[in-house]
Structure 1
């Protein structure tokens, strides 16, 4: 079985097992602090167990790098890493807001730039986004790409949740320049809808994102033709670490990326 098929099946099983939990009191019960540093909720635990159980069922030899469970070796000689955020957008899931997802990525090496396969499953409606390196990005089996034409409405996604007061003024130029600013609360799924062409720019400069938040979405957005770079204009990269935090800018084309970086007071060169 191809790696991408393994990730897709795992995500489908998560959808099946958690869709009834979203918005319920049970979904938000406290299960202690997860490896990523946030409180693990019941819906997170159910989702992660679903993925781990499936990987064990098919004897998939890997190390799981999970948001809640931490590092789990599934064989004595693992052949790669599954980067897992089984529920991205846990707040939305617990409250019943219809924007949360399962994010799974595979890399043969201990770094983000080596990710070869990624899947993001919209756990509200079942839409499945997927990509394998060099093979394009897909939603429900149909190829997708970022919005290349001049849009009727230029939509900017900006994550400001828990942002430092020192960083907020840096975002003011792009916030004031656009009448259509959006933030939905699940970065992996926001990168997926960017890849689909529904958002033109997505900015997160909070230095709060973990590898688990971006691994699958980054590959899908890149394979859809998007430009996704760090605050220095370089391609995203990091080793698999719970201490590392990431910022990024995603844009549908090179010209837009340069313009956004200029507005943010960053070098327009990429």
Structure 2
């Protein structure tokens, strides 16, 4: 079984196991802080267990880097890393807000740039976004690309959750300059929507995002033709450490990247 097939199959299993949990009392609970630093909820635990059980069942030789479970070595001779945020948008999932997803990626080395496969599944409706390196990005079975025409409405995704006063001052012109800004509460799924062409640029400059949140989105965006840069506008890359936090901008093209970043206060 190809790696992308493994990720897609287990993503479907997550969907089947959690689709009826969102917004119920069984979604919540407090299981302490996971490896990523956030409180682990029951829906997180169920989703991660689904992945770990499946990978063990098929004897897939890998090291799992999970948002909750941390580093789990499933083989002494691993082929690479499965980077897992089994529930991205846990707050939405617990409250029943229909915007949360699973994010699974496979990397051959300890770098974002070594990711070869990624899958993001909308756990509200089962819609799947996926990509393999040099093979394009897909929404369900249809190949997708970033929006690369002059938009009727310019949609700017921007994550400001927990942003500092200083950062909000830097970003203020973006909100003021008649851009249509959006943030839905699950970075991975927002990156997938961007790759599908539903947003023109997606910005997160908080220095808070973990690798698990963006690993699958990283490849899906690139394979859909998008640009991914760091806060210094250099090509985005990072190691897979739990201590790593990144800022990034995903843009449909250089023109909109230049236009929006020129509005950020220095």
Both structures adopt the same fold (TM-score exceeding 0.5): yes
Shift of 1:205: 0.6
The alignment status of 1:105 with 2:119, answered yes or no, reads: no
- Per the alignment, residue 91 of structure 1 pairs with 91
Report if the CA contact (8 A) 2:173-2:265 is conserved.
no
- Structure 1 contact 63–73 (Cα < 8 Å) conserved: yes
- Does residue 163 (structure 1) correspond to residue 170 (structure 2)? The answer is no
Q: Report the secondary structure of 1:56's partner residue.
A: helix
3-state DSSP of counterpart to 2:32: strand
In 1, the alpha carbon distance for the partners of 2:178 and 2:132 equals 33
Give SS of 2:146's match: coil
Partner of 2:138 in structure 1? 138
- State how 1:1-270 maps to structure 2 within 5 Å: 1-265=1-265
Aligned 8 A contact 2:169 2:265 in 1: no
Measure the CA separation in 1 of the matches of 2:236 and 2:54: 29
Are the counterparts in 1 of residues 171 and 265 from structure 2 also a CA contact under 8 Å? no
Extract unaligned runs of 5+ from structure 1. none
- Cα distance, 1:164 vs. partner? 1.0
Q: Distance in 1 between the 2:2 and 2:211 partners?
A: 23
Whole-Å Cα distance in 1 between the matches of residues 265 and 106 of structure 2? 34
**1:214-243 Cα deviation digits (max 9, x unpaired):** 000111011111111101111211111111
Q: Distance in 2 between the 1:120 and 1:179 partners? A: 27
Cα-to-partner distance string for 1:102-150 (whole Å, 9 max, x where unaligned): 0000001011111010000000011100001111100101100011111
Q: How many residues align?
A: 266
Whole-angstrom CA distance in 2 between matches of 1:225 and 1:52 = 32
Deviation, structure 1 residue 265:
4.3
Q: Distance in 1 between matches of 2:177 and 2:229?
A: 21
Task: Indicate the SS of the match to 2:225.
Answer: coil
TM-score, with structure 1 as normaliser:
0.97
Tell me the alpha carbon deviations over residues 3-33 of structure 1, each in whole angstroms, 9 at most, x when there is no partner: 0000000100000000111001110111111
Once residues 193 and 148 of structure 1 are traced to their aligned partners in structure 2, the CA distance between those partners, rounded to angstroms, is: 14
User: What is the alpha-carbon root mean square deviation over aligned residues?
Assistant: 0.9
